[in-house]
């Protein structure tokens, strides 16, 4: 397997606070990789650092053989990455339709409408809400919209930040099912950040554990799931 | 209807025609304010001065073309409009690049303060380079329509007034379409609603913002050219008074709303003209700005603004 994304010794700072302390991480083509860790471990920072905001201070980020460490965010994203970010960041005063179109920014309209149909197949609820303003959607619908919008760029690497946050178990199941389905049918590569470690590790091929801005453990999802220290730290009462 | 009443009606009608024309000029300037506000949530106080520069560029263009012996008025106007818009667009781009972009991400008052600084710079630049006196232009679009005549009082609708109204409404239509229906317009709104997310979608936000300033400056130049052709007299200070009135119009209409900007412009134009006609010319600005105060107190989101407006 070849690496689609490779981080080597990546550090990042928010002001004087060091949020990432030399992260090494690999995502291979066609893999679902999950990054688990507690609140404040630096998971979202890592996702944003991959996208160049904040920029990595040290280390290197290579995407598809190209060093993207110093590229501006919009240039990185145009290379086939898409992120469904922390907090979903739906455009509140745009319709669902427009939010999805924003995901297809810069791509031909014909392709965009084709992809939109696929998103609607995945999340039929979004089609019903097409004309509704993003800000008026429920949390679960916004999450579907955020993922759908990310898919609209036809990404090769999908970065999902806490897609299960604050959602009802049924919706989480739906969304995780959709991710698995996409990975299986289209070979979409996914990097998934989750607090819901049990679900994430079951879904992912491999997992990393992030503690205080550094990777402390890595391995196949099932293997991590079986480790007692993981169970103790992240899975108590989770599912 | 006796004669006295007839004249009163005619007089009122003339005031309304003049007020609408004035309002259309304010409205077009206000559209520029509101577009820039709509993308970075900031009032570009230098916008009125770009309008003034647009008027000066138009005057220069027309003077140069007439010196070159171009006598066809439509041709001269078209060439001047294109040239003036292009140069003013460069001004708009530079203003953003120099005074606002370095302050992005800074505290909210910072770009407002540098906008006021930019406004002073542009005014003084024109005052020094063009002189402080009024510069005049002969009427290029003469004539008009006699709407009615009552007891010797003729109500005139000049072709210039018709042209101003049509131009503003056309610009409003074009730019409403641009903002609501095109990819550029969507990315402009995306920048306003969530700049960080916009970059995450691959939008070059700096470029989108620059483009908005370029468009805003071109709109201001169209307004400046109309002002020049309508009043036939300009000076370095017109940007301040017209700019503040247009800002009032934008607030009245609801900052961020394009139709609101023109509606607000109409309201300010009519208030000013009717106040001048019936109360006192000296206090017309007091009337116009009292509206600003009242609106800010009782209706902060304006006529067509959205209710959740938070940043001025």
Q: What share of chain A is helix, strand, coil (3-state, %, to 5)?
A: 40, 30, 30
In chain B, pLDDT over 90 holds for what percent of residues? 71
3-state class of B57 per DSSP?
helix
Size of interface A-B (CB pairs under 8 A): 58
Domain count of the fold of chain B: 1
Cis peptide, bond prior to residue B24, ω within 30 of zero: no
Q: How distant is the Cα of A236 from the closest Cα of chain B, in angstroms?
A: 34
Cβ contact B201–A93 (<8 Å): no
Kind of pairing between the strands at A58-63 and A3-14: antiparallel
Mean pLDDT of B37-41: 83
Q: How distant is the Cα of B120 from the closest Cα of chain A, in angstroms?
A: 34
Q: Is the pLDDT of residue B310 over 50?
A: no
Q: Which CATH number fits the domain that encloses residue B32?
A: 1.10.3470
B96 occurs within a structural domain: yes
pLDDT tens digits, one per residue of B129-169: 999 999 999 888 888 899 888 888 899 999 999 999 999 99
CA distances, B266 to each of B169, B219, B231, B273 (Å): 11, 17, 18, 10
Q: What is the pLDDT of residue B3?
A: 64
Q: How distant is the Cα of A51 from the closest Cα of chain B, in angstroms?
A: 7
Q: Is the pLDDT of residue B170 over 70?
A: yes
B16 occurs within a structural domain: no
B306 occurs within a structural domain: no
Interface residues on B facing A, Cβ-Cβ cutoff 8 A: 183, 186-187, 189-190, 193-194, 196-205, 306
Find the domain containing B68 and state its range: 22-298
Residues of chain B with C-beta less than 8 angstroms from the C-beta of A72: 199, 204
CATH 3.40.50.300 placement within chain A: 3-80+156-235
CATH class of A3-80+156-235: alpha beta
pLDDT tens digits, one per residue of A174-215: 889 989 999 999 999 999 998 888 889 999 999 999 999 999
Q: Which of B187, B191, B197, B306 to mutate to test the interface with A (most CBs of A within 10 A)?
A: B197
Q: What is the pLDDT of residue A237?
A: 53
- Angle, helices B3-40/B159-181, rounded to nearest 10 degrees: 30
Instruction: Give the A window 65-94 contacts with B, CB below 8 Å.
Output: 72-74, 77-78, 83, 85, 89, 91-94
Q: How distant is the Cα of A73 from the closest Cα of chain B, in angstroms?
A: 6
Q: Is the pLDDT of residue A26 over 80?
A: yes
Cβ contact A101–B186 (<8 Å): yes
Instruction: Give the A window 4-43 contacts with B, CB below 8 Å.
Output: none
């Amino acid at each position: 397997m070849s690496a689609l994304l490779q981080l080597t010794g990546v550090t990042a700072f928010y002001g004087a606070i060091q949020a990432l302390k030399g992260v090494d991480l690999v995502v291979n083509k066609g893999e679902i990789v999950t990054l688990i860790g507690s609140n404040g471990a630096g998971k979202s920072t890592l996702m944003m650092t991959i996208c160049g905001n904040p920029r990595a201070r040290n280390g290197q980020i290579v995407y598809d053989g190209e060093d993207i460490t110093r590229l501006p965010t919009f240039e990185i994203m145009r290379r086939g990455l898409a992120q469904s970010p922390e907090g979903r960041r739906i455009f509140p005063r745009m319709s669902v339709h427009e939010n999805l179109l924003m995901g297809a920014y810069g791509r031909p309209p014909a392709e965009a409408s084709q992809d939109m149909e696929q998103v609607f197949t995945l999340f039929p609820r979004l089609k019903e809400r097409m004309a509704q303003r993003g800000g008026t959607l429920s949390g679960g619908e916004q999450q579907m919209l955020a993922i759908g919008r990310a898919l609209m760029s036809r990404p090769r690497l999908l970065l999902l930040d806490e897609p299960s946050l604050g959602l009802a178990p049924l919706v989480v199941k739906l969304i995780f099912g959709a991710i698995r389905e996409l990975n299986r049918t289209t070979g979409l590569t996914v990097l998934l950040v989750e607090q819901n470690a049990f679900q994430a590790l079951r879904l992912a091929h491999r997992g990393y554990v992030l503690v205080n801005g550094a990777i402390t453990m890595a391995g196949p999802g099932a293997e991590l799931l079986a480790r007692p220290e993981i169970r103790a730290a992240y899975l108590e009462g989770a599912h | 209807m006796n004669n006295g009443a007839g004249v009163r009606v005619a007089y009122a009608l003339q005031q309304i025609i003049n007020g609408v024309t004035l309002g259309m000029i304010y409205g077009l300037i206000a559209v520029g304010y509101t577009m820039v506000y709509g993308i970075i949530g900031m009032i570009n106080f230098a916008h009125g001065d770009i309008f003034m520069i647009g008027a000066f560029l138009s005057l220069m263009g027309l003077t140069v073309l007439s010196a070159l012996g171009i006598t066809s008025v439509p041709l001269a106007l078209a060439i001047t409009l294109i040239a003036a818009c292009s140069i003013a667009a460069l001004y708009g781009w530079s203003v953003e690049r120099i005074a606002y972009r370095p302050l992005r991400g800074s505290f909210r008052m910072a770009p407002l303060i540098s906008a006021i600084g930019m406004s002073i710079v542009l005014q003084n630049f024109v005052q020094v380079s063009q002189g402080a006196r009024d510069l005049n232009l002969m009427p290029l679009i003469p004539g008009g329509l006699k709407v009615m005549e009552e007891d010797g009082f003729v109500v005139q609708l000049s072709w210039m007034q018709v042209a101003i109204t049509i131009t503003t409404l056309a610009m409003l239509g074009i730019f409403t379409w641009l903002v609501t229906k095109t990819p550029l317009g969507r990315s402009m709104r995306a920048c306003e609603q969530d700049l960080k997310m916009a970059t995450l979608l691959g939008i070059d936000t700096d470029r989108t913002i620059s483009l908005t300033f370029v468009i805003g400056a071109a709109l201001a130049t169209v307004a400046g050219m109309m002002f020049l052709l309508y009043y036939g007299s300009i000076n370095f200070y017109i940007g301040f008074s017209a700019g503040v009135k247009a800002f009032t119009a934008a607030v009245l209409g609801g900052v961020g709303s394009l139709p609101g900007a023109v509606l607000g412009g109409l309201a300010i134009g009519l208030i000013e003209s009717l106040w001048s006609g019936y109360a006192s010319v000296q206090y017309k600005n007091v009337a116009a700005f009292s509206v600003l105060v009242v609106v800010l107190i009782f209706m902060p989101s304006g006529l067509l603004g959205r209710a959740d407006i938070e940043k001025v």
